[in-house]
Structure 1
């Protein structure tokens, strides 16, 4: 008994030893206290946070209990209760302090250390706290200088959201994946859209679940990366996680304002995705992502009921399926093979303009009440990149090949060919187009830490081949079988054999890039790039940049560069006949390719590259690890911007007969028509505070942007036609690529397992010109502010829940008449969109 009593006594003493408060301190590498760091026992509510001196006191009842010590911007640690030390040092893990891939070829440069402004966006963070399910909309509300609007009644652009940086064109932003050039969409934006006349990259083909972070370089970078980087570069970094399965289920629905029926909700969205990674050897990995996203129609046509132009107006239906891979396979200590890429298929269905019962384009025996054509899109997007990284004689070498393809097939349902009368089919295959791109890249880079305070040299070469095709639809989709009667499929006439084309080109580039840290405070960078295009010749561009650290708190930075953007193959070769609605009346409009009879008759020269000059000047303030401020002003001057012209009529003395010969009333074409200057200011502020037992992160992002049309470039044959060549409507559409201001204020409060986020986004005033070529009250969209709210709860380490609302208070842009807008609805695609409030719920599972 004595031994038993002694054992019990020792056990009691042992328990008492751990059933006591442990006192410690949490600091960074420099010994600075981390205020508000979290110390939580996993699987329980037991925990605390550090005080103003970094000290903490926590109850420990079990020696083997696991405690997680974490602080925003730092890598968390896990320690047993028995291992809680007097001082715990956390290593910085802030995304801003990670080595970035974009904007610098030095692997020793972080986002806060670059001479150009770079936003680093943690996709996991924003996807868990917002209802948006596709990449364009995620960035629209996360990055102030990024803008993307969904379209309605815009043919193919309903299915590929145009996106831009700093109010420039969608094709003036280069997109990279893991630092490699991403192919563009085969679609050229034509009708009813921002970025009209532009091609762009379809970001929605890349599932957010496959992405670790996004780096946005807000600076001209054509001298570093080649064509398309006039406005900046978006680099998407894919996940590398292993030994973890993450599953997400997301669903949401819109409040259905402005419907004809009594439906209270519409536009159901739901998404399922899974990400899993596993190790290959000690250093290799394979990371796989599967993603399915469904988005149903919304309908807001009744908002313009007094002057009804359309019965169906809203988001298209879309089913998006994607599979993505990221992998690396080390061969030895210095060499690794990498492979990444994916496949995406999107099936879309969008509303075209209504043909009412008494419309001369309706056949009453088929549609007694008229009809609403449905434009269907089948988009297949594929990409694969493979390469090898190695080190040869202290030089880092990267050799890769990247292939991408985008194919766009049109079909129509719920339509007819008027010229076939009562025997007309109601479905058609309308043809489409495709774009392939293959890029071979070889790069060398070397960092010499013993030269000055650090010197990085990089050089390399790139060879790219592109191919573009237009293929015709079935005959009944484009042909008129009765003279004078509109033919083809109503809603979207099919591509004709005369539209068909296959075009290719190649380009070769050489670049040299250096960054010299003369001292730890002062660095200068320089880049030079030469490119030769098989279709328009040579271009040479350069860039200078500098950064000066006044002290550990204040840093100044500046860049100056020249740039270019090659005309895309779709811009050069696109040819089609579309049906525009002008003041509510259908008009057949020819989009004539650059070397057509129509463009030659007007003396339009062959398309050439756009040329740009960029400059930026800014500063950053980081007095500690909880507060940061960046301010960057920019100036971008672009010469010979490629745009889609206004509409020339069949009454024109030079091309009128040519248009009558092909049975169209008007024609437009692509041309280097405009010189513009864009000036702006980006301001980003972030602050972290300990509030009670939790952590409050406050961020404010602001973008102010102004575009001025300096000159409209005409030819001798266009004398007197300047107002048609690039008319008032087209000028206002160009200026409306982004609101003149956009402000994002976010409050994010985290306490133990609970976090809540509230975000206010203010969109500045947008002005457009109506079909009377005048700016009237109906075409002015005043400033609006949306409010987003989300609540997240971590039930356990493996299960999390979130609920919330985007545009909580159901805010809409100012309403217009459907007869004046380009879309035919109550709003053109401006500001925050026109669907109203969105409510959602999310489940996150980690295994």
Structure 2
């Protein structure tokens, strides 16, 4: 198709925001795909035709001319129910952006690539991370130019896809079409920092009767810092990141109607975040956390992470006696190794000083790290019976999954207390103490699953789907889930739909076995904290029981409307109840739980935390999308509105028997607010896009709802109240030739920031927290896209 015809098609696809995908492509070019929420293979359906809410976002325009250079931030400004905010001052969580749907945890959203389960990261989010205590999937490990579309299923789907699909499912569909294209981009904040460079290329090569898509991407993002002289020498802002990524995706006929398909990807990321600054001469940090001989004016330690992410899918599709079969093997791996630089071990420096030396220690340390591997084998079978109940699709299958998790200890200097526990200099590398040999672990588990799914057109207007899935885990037992969904077409332009399901999420190996001793800052004061794994001496002494699965009940009801071929509306209400939700506990110490006092004193730490199935929650909300396009003057105007409202409430605190009476410590108000309002309680997007000839302009307003978070001091110090704030994005593209396009624009062009707070009570120790649209302010970008 000529480029001058492709351009308006791509623009229309972006403007739909969860509405009609059939408007985004010409009917004779629709690819047959399996849309999330259905096992039936059919032409790519619009979300106005599906049994449950499904948004389908074409990523072509985002990759070619968008203002965001990674997938997580792109979806942040595309999907109203999706939330991802870059962190600062949250240690490892600064290195990997977490993402979530409908205000729930990042590990309660299942991510698929080409319909196959994507592995989670090895990292557990801690400190002031919005998704504290949870793991998640690294959305930014996939290059934008490799992605054809992203499907967001906004409904519980554990009965169809297994563990983690409580808030919903995100399926990332990769390209495998012939042709080549390349993108070069540059961006920076209006403050002059955070310089972001991007170079990416895709080429689809005809091979063996099929097509192999090859994507390579290089991205280099610089630090930003908003502290200024008032917070010197602190660095408060974006992490420094360099990504090198390559992805392959293809499908090849082998015999008859059989096909071999392959997806392979690798990313190496070098990231560096700035920890809290340590004071110099005259401060309380000497000799406990600094040495006058090394950093007399204070210093900022750097937490450097080397992240290796690998992904592989190999599969075979075929037909047998009318049945479609799909056999696949998926492998995913995520490793993170820490190197702490511009630091010291204060206990080593103090020991050197006491021995008559200058008082120095090494300034960099290998602090160890962790890794997570996942192997998944799937066998799926389906068949469409056109004469059965007006058309029925029957599907069934099996899955075997094996997971491995390990923690690697750092070098001794990264964790030892050289001058004695509780004396002089503190143990370990400042900024991030290394993992100790007692933290090191190597664990694994396996699971097996069987499912059956039946979708039937009971009448020309009534469609129903029922699914049942049972899974058995080697470490906690079995779980069976079910789902029933249906839709009723009142007429050709109005559809009623609803669904009810049960779901579950297995405790991750990271939550079961993560162990670390680290330094946190409370109102600017350092405190050493141990995060004790399930089954450890500390956890057992506190009476923390073995972790078990979370269980959920999901309900969705709504309607879709298509008043005309150019206008689409969807509205869905939902409720998600989660029982025995796994959260990171509050911090226990000798004062609020004397039974742990002696153990903590022996470890040389002040507080302890655990993972525990401690709360029940209820989430209620609604999703609204509306889009229309019309000819205005000599051009075309696309208008879209998208809205998500999501309110989560902790309905019960389930304290183990030994912790009865300590519910306020197990779940403090501060921790409760992280669960209830870690993300904005509503988000709205209003966008306008006008194209005429070779020019396209767009304006988009994104309003982030208010949030209330707790303080370190607690009552009577008032909570942190963040007012709703709106950001505006502007963009302009020029199709210079049929193959070449230039784009410029800005994000948050009016330089809006979150509500100012007392820095002694925020997690990052700054006036502005890392929430809503972040703390960096306005940014600007330029891109060039070339198709050849």
Q: Same fold (TM over 0.5)?
A: yes
**Aligned twin of 2:198:** 271
Give the alignment partner of residue 643 of structure 1, picking from 569, 583, 588: 583
Note the alpha carbon deviations across 1:207-251, whole angstroms, 9 max, x for none: 111000000000000000000000000000000111x21010010
CA contact (8 A) 2:64 2:784 kept: no
Bigger mean CA deviation after superposition, 554-563 or 654-663? 654-663
What are the equivalent positions in structure 2 for 1:135-214 lying under 5 Å apart? 135-214=71-150
What are the equivalent positions in structure 2 for 1:17-32 lying under 5 Å apart? none
Note if 1:293 corresponds to 2:219.
Answer: yes
**Aligned twin of 1:415:** 343
**Aligned twin of 2:316:** 388
Note the alpha carbon deviations across 1:431-450, whole angstroms, 9 max, x for none: 00000000000010001112
Note if 1:237 corresponds to 2:173.
Answer: yes
Displacement of 1:130 in angstroms is 2.6
TM-score by length of 2: 0.94
Per the alignment, in what secondary structure is the counterpart of residue 731 of structure 1?
helix
**Aligned twin of 1:696:** 637
Per the alignment, in what secondary structure is the counterpart of residue 772 of structure 1?
coil
Note the alpha carbon deviations across 1:549-573, whole angstroms, 9 max, x for none: 0111100000000000000000000
Give the alignment partner of residue 830 of structure 1, picking from 771, 774, 778: 771
Per the alignment, in what secondary structure is the counterpart of residue 598 of structure 1?
helix
Give the alignment partner of residue 404 of structure 1, picking from 332, 348, 352: 332
Note the alpha carbon deviations across 1:662-688, whole angstroms, 9 max, x for none: 110000010001100000000000000
Displacement of 1:354 in angstroms is 0.5
CA contact (8 A) 2:53 2:155 kept: yes
Note if 1:578 corresponds to 2:518.
Answer: yes
Per the alignment, in what secondary structure is the counterpart of residue 752 of structure 2?
coil
Note the alpha carbon deviations across 1:673-712, whole angstroms, 9 max, x for none: 1100000000000000100010000010000110110000
Give the alignment partner of residue 728 of structure 2, picking from 787, 800, 817: 787
**Aligned twin of 1:448:** 385
Note if 1:500 corresponds to 2:465.
Answer: no
Bigger mean CA deviation after superposition, 793-802 or 330-339? 330-339
CA contact (8 A) 1:74 1:93 kept: no
Displacement of 1:310 in angstroms is 6.4
Note the alpha carbon deviations across 1:49-107, whole angstroms, 9 max, x for none: xxxxxxxxxxxxxxxxxx9598648999xxxxxxxxxxxxx943798x97443211001
Task: For 1:75 and 1:393, locate their aligned partners in 2 and report how far apart those are by CA, in whole Å.
Answer: 40
Task: For 1:440 and 1:126, locate their aligned partners in 2 and report how far apart those are by CA, in whole Å.
Answer: 33
**Aligned twin of 1:524:** 464
CA contact (8 A) 1:650 1:664 kept: no
CA contact (8 A) 1:75 1:91 kept: no
Note the alpha carbon deviations across 1:384-430, whole angstroms, 9 max, x for none: 11010000000000000000100000011110000111230100000
Displacement of 1:829 in angstroms is 1.9
What are the equivalent positions in structure 2 for 1:664-683 lying under 5 Å apart? 664-683=605-624
Note if 1:460 corresponds to 2:383.
Answer: no
Per the alignment, in what secondary structure is the counterpart of residue 287 of structure 1?
strand
Task: For 2:368 and 2:6, locate their aligned partners in 1 and report how far apart those are by CA, in whole Å.
Answer: 58
**Aligned twin of 1:81:** none
Per the alignment, in what secondary structure is the counterpart of residue 675 of structure 2?
helix
Note the alpha carbon deviations across 1:337-391, whole angstroms, 9 max, x for none: 1110200011000000010112221111111111000000000000111010000
Per the alignment, in what secondary structure is the counterpart of residue 125 of structure 1?
helix
Displacement of 1:778 in angstroms is 6.9
Task: For 1:287 and 1:816, locate their aligned partners in 2 and report how far apart those are by CA, in whole Å.
Answer: 48
Give the alignment partner of residue 806 of structure 1, picking from 707, 731, 747: 747
Note if 1:557 corresponds to 2:497.
Answer: yes
Task: For 2:650 and 2:627, locate their aligned partners in 1 and report how far apart those are by CA, in whole Å.
Answer: 35
CA contact (8 A) 1:463 1:507 kept: yes
Note the alpha carbon deviations across 1:147-177, whole angstroms, 9 max, x for none: 0011111111001111100001000000000
Task: For 1:826 and 1:472, locate their aligned partners in 2 and report how far apart those are by CA, in whole Å.
Answer: 35
Note if 1:302 corresponds to 2:228.
Answer: yes
Bigger mean CA deviation after superposition, 183-192 or 813-822? 813-822
Note the alpha carbon deviations across 1:185-219, whole angstroms, 9 max, x for none: 00011111111110100111011110000000000
CA contact (8 A) 2:435 2:516 kept: yes
**Aligned twin of 2:354:** none
**Aligned twin of 1:12:** none
**Aligned twin of 2:369:** 432
Unaligned runs of 5+ in 1: 1-39, 44-66, 77-89, 257-264
Note the alpha carbon deviations across 1:255-277, whole angstroms, 9 max, x for none: 12xxxxxxxx1000010000001
**Aligned twin of 1:48:** none
Per the alignment, in what secondary structure is the counterpart of residue 204 of structure 1?
helix
What are the equivalent positions in structure 2 for 1:306-345 lying under 5 Å apart? 308=231, 311-345=234-268
Displacement of 1:521 in angstroms is 1.2
CA contact (8 A) 2:252 2:260 kept: yes
Task: For 1:391 and 1:74, locate their aligned partners in 2 and report how far apart those are by CA, in whole Å.
Answer: 37
Note if 1:630 corresponds to 2:561.
Answer: no
Task: For 1:550 and 1:616, locate their aligned partners in 2 and report how far apart those are by CA, in whole Å.
Answer: 18
Task: For 1:197 and 1:69, locate their aligned partners in 2 and report how far apart those are by CA, in whole Å.
Answer: 44
Structure 1 residues 709 and 382: CA distance shift in structure 2, 3 A: same
CA contact (8 A) 2:82 2:101 kept: yes
Look at both structures and tell me which one has the larger radius of gyration over its CA atoms. 1
Per the alignment, in what secondary structure is the counterpart of residue 41 of structure 2?
coil
Displacement of 1:487 in angstroms is 1.3
Unaligned runs of 5+ in 2: 14-24, 350-358
Note the alpha carbon deviations across 1:584-641, whole angstroms, 9 max, x for none: 1000000000111111111111000000000000100012210000000000000001
Task: For 2:58 and 2:531, locate their aligned partners in 1 and report how far apart those are by CA, in whole Å.
Answer: 41
TM-score by length of 1: 0.87
Task: For 2:313 and 2:755, locate their aligned partners in 1 and report how far apart those are by CA, in whole Å.
Answer: 45
**Aligned twin of 2:675:** 734
Task: For 1:298 and 1:232, locate their aligned partners in 2 and report how far apart those are by CA, in whole Å.
Answer: 33
Bigger mean CA deviation after superposition, 705-714 or 817-826? 817-826
**Aligned twin of 1:658:** 599
Task: For 1:674 and 1:302, locate their aligned partners in 2 and report how far apart those are by CA, in whole Å.
Answer: 40
Task: For 2:641 and 2:373, locate their aligned partners in 1 and report how far apart those are by CA, in whole Å.
Answer: 40
Note if 1:379 corresponds to 2:379.
Answer: no
Task: For 1:68 and 1:153, locate their aligned partners in 2 and report how far apart those are by CA, in whole Å.
Answer: 47
**Aligned twin of 1:47:** none
**Aligned twin of 1:247:** 182
Task: For 2:702 and 2:29, locate their aligned partners in 1 and report how far apart those are by CA, in whole Å.
Answer: 25
**Aligned twin of 1:479:** 416
Task: For 1:781 and 1:185, locate their aligned partners in 2 and report how far apart those are by CA, in whole Å.
Answer: 30
Structure 1 residues 75 and 147: CA distance shift in structure 2, 3 A: closer
Give the alignment partner of residue 37 of structure 2, picking from 103, 121, 133: 103
Displacement of 1:726 in angstroms is 0.8
Note if 1:126 corresponds to 2:62.
Answer: yes
Give the alignment partner of residue 515 of structure 1, picking from 440, 455, 471: 455
Note if 1:619 corresponds to 2:555.
Answer: no
